[in-house]
Chain A
């Protein structure tokens, strides 16, 4: 009798039809439940990321009309500081203040301590490679990134270089050198898990005028 209690064997004890193979079914249901929770968790991260951008778009409109630090929802601890577009890829993203985990869940975040996008110096923006900054892998040297600032001014940048670096390469945030936008996300793009040591970094220099473009590569 005991030897028949193995995977694939018929349930051997006498029991009613309804409760037949109860352990097997409850096991399957438990797996289904865990699977659903896990799937839901992943879906929720993605849904949150994209729904939030819609709410942030409204906050950005109010920002352009002169309000400051407009929180997209009442309990938010971040607010949009710039709108970033890549015409070649049809991308539009709202950049939030702060590049910590709580802001990055809802949009790319501007690293505190670096100048706001559009200001002189090196503005650093971080974001998730599997949500808002997934487009970085398609971004090529020479392409334009446009930034709309809270004061309505528009600044155009041109991608000059992309690099795979280590998370401790904090020199990418240093201020010396030309005015630029530095976009940071995790690498590799297809990795399943978060927390890897590598970073994909896009360096885009400010285009001052058309004459300046000729000096650039591409």
Chain B
């Protein structure tokens, strides 16, 4: 120690001083943080303490308090074999109140679901539902309801929105509605997927308000543009009231060949493997609140995956079948210069997680553009706005500017989608160009039909690709808009999916299309297949048709051209796999074809008559036919009042309630907080200085 030189001593002092300064700064920052936190906490408490009462009360948007709705829980089980799925959905309406209740539940199903069975379950008893014309079914149901008998009714509002009504649920009693549907799976790019939507996201309702119906169950009144708005806008529970409507889910998957990988995109699941070709899937948590779509996707062992599938069922002397043929992957062709128009939905329903996913996807797409391409970006909420008056050439500067602009956009306001479509679809038809519109939206609108008309009218040579964003996209809008736009659809439900899904979409946008597809059935089979006109196919997509025919003899031929080269496949009809429910799928396909024909000018009355015939024969719920189940004996005496209540739904996960339904102006500044925290810091500083100088 004594041998230390003065230089070393000074160095030690300097180090000590530095250390002290560092520590003092840290302590001061911590003290300041503690003070600020304490002030914040006190301030927060003051507000939280007051916000408790009334939080759980459910109101309509005009402030009326809603009657107590029955509690709803759903149990779903799927049997998947090959490329078709059969689903059984049980909705339990539990009346926890002391009154007699009529419950109304608006819920989604996949847009291609063929609902062909309904039963009402009361205790141990099962009452089979019957298909009737919508109006007749309503009267049957009302007569039973008013007569005090238990009854259930199921209507279709949109291909993917349905309503069940259950009448005369006694105090502390529960009634279940069990429905079954058939569905073909989606196959794309080597992956099968099964999607089960759980909540109807709040839809934007354009137009002028019409006088509301006496029985107003939805949060939106009917308008001139959406005359049934009240039927598709079930009340939405405010997020702080908790999550309701639990769903349990079970899938028995039998792929027929070895399964490679099974994954659930949005819900943790437990997967058991009884054999290499079978899986049993359940939700890991047991149940999940109905606030976002469920999706299960799986791939098959590559060498065993079938390129052709032909499932049939015989019913009343006629054969019904679903045919899937997978064309070979396209050879990478010369890349054509493209004009791409990106359309971004920046409405209030996109606020939160959705807009982040959409911006990420859009940024990726912009960065992927090549020199020689041209592009433009359009955003829309209450009005549409284009970045450039017309498409501009791709260069680092223009792409940079577009990315910056997209990043600056905020999600709020309405969803006036028509104005964006008018901007994006110029209606022109030029032979030599490739023009693609990439439309990023959650499709949360109530005026789908008007938009489909617009797409049909203005498409020209443009191709429209929809990207369904968020936790509860409107699948009917996504698929039909892409179909009419002769493009494809993609879903992005999580930010982690953006990269993969967009890369798959780019592959589709950039490789040659399989066009002019034809399915030629053997002579004498009297085959009738749907869809009547097959869409163009993008890379990785299969041909899927449903057919009704007299006999399974000879071969069906499928052909088309890709990049000028003919492709043809033959499938012997006798080599079929028996599978129940093909008749429903065929009828469902035909109903869709008939409904679409209204857009092409077929009188609705003609279509209605044909759909009703078809639906009655095949027991299908359609726009014009409903299921109704009625119990025989009255249970409610006429002087006991029946209370009508709509089952509330969750806000879809990741959505922002205030951005969807609006907010009152903010009525405070931070001035008091600033004055108080400023004074505290000043006093503290003063005390410190005094103590030192004293």
- Determine if chain A interacts with chain B: yes
Question: Which residues in A have some Cβ–Cβ distance to B below 8 Å?
Answer: 1-2, 5, 7, 13-14, 21, 23-25, 27-32, 34-43, 45-46, 49, 99-101, 104-105, 109, 111, 126-131, 133, 164-174, 184-188, 190-201
A30's contact among B28, B50, B680, by CB below 8 Å, is which?
Answer: B28
- Scan residues 656-686 of chain B and give those whose CB is less than 8 A from a CB of chain A: 657-658, 661-686
Given contact pairs A34-B681, A193-B47, a sample of 5 additional A-B residue pairs in the complex whose CB atoms are under 8 Å apart: A43-B671, A128-B669, A167-B658, A172-B664, A186-B668
Task: Considering the complex, give the chain B residue whose CB is closest to the CB of A99.
Answer: B665
> Does B673 lie within 8 Å of A190, measured CB to CB?
no
> Does B675 lie within 8 Å of A39, measured CB to CB?
yes
Is the C-beta of B62 less than 8 angstroms from some C-beta in chain A?
Answer: yes
Task: Considering the complex, give the chain A residue whose CB is closest to the CB of B54.
Answer: A166
Q: Which residues of A contact B61 (CB under 8 A)?
A: 170-171
Is the C-beta of B569 less than 8 angstroms from some C-beta in chain A?
Answer: no
A168's contact among B661, B665, B681, by CB below 8 Å, is which?
Answer: B661
> Does B43 lie within 8 Å of A32, measured CB to CB?
no
Q: Which residues of A contact B16 (CB under 8 A)?
A: 1-2, 5, 13
Task: Considering the complex, give the chain B residue whose CB is closest to the CB of A201.
Answer: B664
> Does A29 lie within 8 Å of B667, measured CB to CB?
no
> Does B671 lie within 8 Å of A38, measured CB to CB?
no
Interface flags, B634-647, vs A, CB<8A=1, else 0? 00000000000000
With A167-B658, A170-B661, A171-B62 given, is the CB distance from A194 to B678 under 8 Å? no
Q: Which residues of A contact B669 (CB under 8 A)?
A: 45, 49, 105, 128, 130-131, 194
Is the C-beta of B39 less than 8 angstroms from some C-beta in chain A?
Answer: yes
Is the C-beta of B13 less than 8 angstroms from some C-beta in chain A?
Answer: yes
With A23-B24, A27-B28, A168-B657 given, is the CB distance from A127 to B688 under 8 Å? no
> Does A192 lie within 8 Å of B43, measured CB to CB?
yes
> Does B667 lie within 8 Å of A133, measured CB to CB?
yes
Give me 14 A-to-B residue pairs in the complex whose CB atoms sit less than 8 angstroms apart, sorted by A's number. Answer: A5-B19, A13-B13, A28-B688, A28-B689, A30-B28, A35-B681, A35-B682, A100-B665, A105-B669, A131-B669, A166-B51, A166-B238, A170-B663, A185-B667
**Nearest-Cβ distance from residue B480 to partner chain A, whole angstroms:** 32
Is the C-beta of B42 less than 8 angstroms from some C-beta in chain A?
Answer: yes
- Scan residues 344-377 of chain B and give those whose CB is less than 8 A from a CB of chain A: none
Q: Which residues of B contact A184 (CB under 8 A)?
A: 664-665, 667
**Nearest-Cβ distance from residue B62 to partner chain A, whole angstroms:** 4
A45, B673: Cα distance in complex, Å: 11
> Does B678 lie within 8 Å of A27, measured CB to CB?
no
**Nearest-Cβ distance from residue B438 to partner chain A, whole angstroms:** 33
> Does B40 lie within 8 Å of A170, measured CB to CB?
no
Q: Which residues of A contact B667 (CB under 8 A)?
A: 104, 126-129, 133, 184-187, 199-200
Is the C-beta of B17 less than 8 angstroms from some C-beta in chain A?
Answer: yes
> Does B675 lie within 8 Å of A42, measured CB to CB?
yes
Q: Which residues of A contact B665 (CB under 8 A)?
A: 99-100, 104, 109, 111, 126, 184
Q: Which residues of B contact A7 (CB under 8 A)?
A: 27
Is the C-beta of B213 less than 8 angstroms from some C-beta in chain A?
Answer: no
With A27-B24, A130-B668 given, is the CB distance from A39 to B682 under 8 Å? yes
Is the C-beta of B567 less than 8 angstroms from some C-beta in chain A?
Answer: no
Task: Considering the complex, give the chain A residue whose CB is closest to the CB of B12.
Answer: A1
Q: Which residues of B contact A133 (CB under 8 A)?
A: 667
**Nearest-Cβ distance from residue A140 to partner chain B, whole angstroms:** 19
A99, B32: Cα distance in complex, Å: 35
> Does B664 lie within 8 Å of A169, measured CB to CB?
yes
> Does B685 lie within 8 Å of A38, measured CB to CB?
no
Task: Considering the complex, give the chain A residue whose CB is closest to the CB of B675.
Answer: A42
A34, B63: Cα distance in complex, Å: 45
> Does A41 lie within 8 Å of B689, measured CB to CB?
no
- Scan residues 1-56 of chain B and give those whose CB is less than 8 A from a CB of chain A: 13, 16-17, 19-21, 23-25, 27-28, 32, 39-40, 42-44, 46-47, 50-51
A101, B669: Cα distance in complex, Å: 9
Task: Considering the complex, give the chain A residue whose CB is closest to the CB of B673.
Answer: A192
Residue with the highest number of chain A CB atoms closer than 10 Å, among B13, B43, B62, B678: B678
With A13-B13, A23-B20, A23-B24 given, is the CB distance from A39 to B51 under 8 Å? no
Q: Which residues of B contact A166 (CB under 8 A)?
A: 51, 238
Is the C-beta of B302 less than 8 angstroms from some C-beta in chain A?
Answer: no
Q: Which residues of A contact B670 (CB under 8 A)?
A: 42, 45, 193-194
A195, B28: Cα distance in complex, Å: 28
Is the C-beta of B692 less than 8 angstroms from some C-beta in chain A?
Answer: yes
Interface size on B, residues (CB 8 A): 58
**Nearest-Cβ distance from residue B44 to partner chain A, whole angstroms:** 7
Q: Which residues of A contact B40 (CB under 8 A)?
A: 193
A14, B685: Cα distance in complex, Å: 25
Q: Which residues of A contact B688 (CB under 8 A)?
A: 24, 27-28, 31
**Nearest-Cβ distance from residue B35 to partner chain A, whole angstroms:** 10
A185, B668: Cα distance in complex, Å: 7
A11, B156: Cα distance in complex, Å: 82
A46, B674: Cα distance in complex, Å: 11
A31, B662: Cα distance in complex, Å: 41
**Nearest-Cβ distance from residue A95 to partner chain B, whole angstroms:** 13
Interface flags, B558-573, vs A, CB<8A=1, else 0? 0000000000000000
**Nearest-Cβ distance from residue A32 to partner chain B, whole angstroms:** 4
Task: Considering the complex, give the chain B residue whose CB is closest to the CB of A27.
Answer: B28
Q: Which residues of B contact A34 (CB under 8 A)?
A: 32, 681
A39, B666: Cα distance in complex, Å: 22
A20, B276: Cα distance in complex, Å: 79
Task: Considering the complex, give the chain B residue whose CB is closest to the CB of A199.
Answer: B664
**Nearest-Cβ distance from residue B434 to partner chain A, whole angstroms:** 43
7 smallest CB-CB distances across A and B, nearest first, come from: A39-B678, A35-B681, A42-B674, A126-B665, A38-B678, A42-B675, A32-B685
A167, B240: Cα distance in complex, Å: 13
A214, B498: Cα distance in complex, Å: 65
With A104-B665, A193-B40, A199-B664 given, is the CB distance from A28 to B692 under 8 Å? yes
> Does B666 lie within 8 Å of A32, measured CB to CB?
no
A164, B52: Cα distance in complex, Å: 12
> Does A32 lie within 8 Å of B47, measured CB to CB?
no
Task: Considering the complex, give the chain B residue whose CB is closest to the CB of A29.
Answer: B685
A25, B693: Cα distance in complex, Å: 10
A81, B42: Cα distance in complex, Å: 38
A198's contact among B47, B661, B683, by CB below 8 Å, is which?
Answer: B47
Q: Which residues of A contact B44 (CB under 8 A)?
A: 193
> Does B47 lie within 8 Å of A191, measured CB to CB?
yes
B671's contact among A2, A127, A131, A168, by CB below 8 Å, is which?
Answer: A131
> Does B32 lie within 8 Å of A191, measured CB to CB?
no
Q: Which residues of B contact A27 (CB under 8 A)?
A: 24-25, 28, 688
A167, B663: Cα distance in complex, Å: 5
Q: Which residues of A contact B63 (CB under 8 A)?
A: 169, 171-172
Q: Which residues of B contact A31 (CB under 8 A)?
A: 28, 32, 681-682, 684-685, 688
> Does B671 lie within 8 Å of A45, measured CB to CB?
yes
Residue with the highest number of chain A CB atoms closer than 10 Å, among B657, B674, B677: B674
> Does A192 lie within 8 Å of B39, measured CB to CB?
yes
With A43-B675, A170-B661 given, is the CB distance from A101 to B682 under 8 Å? no
> Does A39 lie within 8 Å of B679, measured CB to CB?
yes
Residue with the highest number of chain A CB atoms closer than 10 Å, among B658, B667, B670, B689: B667
Task: Considering the complex, give the chain A residue whose CB is closest to the CB of B658.
Answer: A168
Q: Which residues of B contact A49 (CB under 8 A)?
A: 669
A187, B23: Cα distance in complex, Å: 41
Task: Considering the complex, give the chain B residue whose CB is closest to the CB of A19.
Answer: B17
> Does B674 lie within 8 Å of A45, measured CB to CB?
yes
Task: Considering the complex, give the chain A residue whose CB is closest to the CB of B24.
Answer: A23
**Nearest-Cβ distance from residue A168 to partner chain B, whole angstroms:** 6
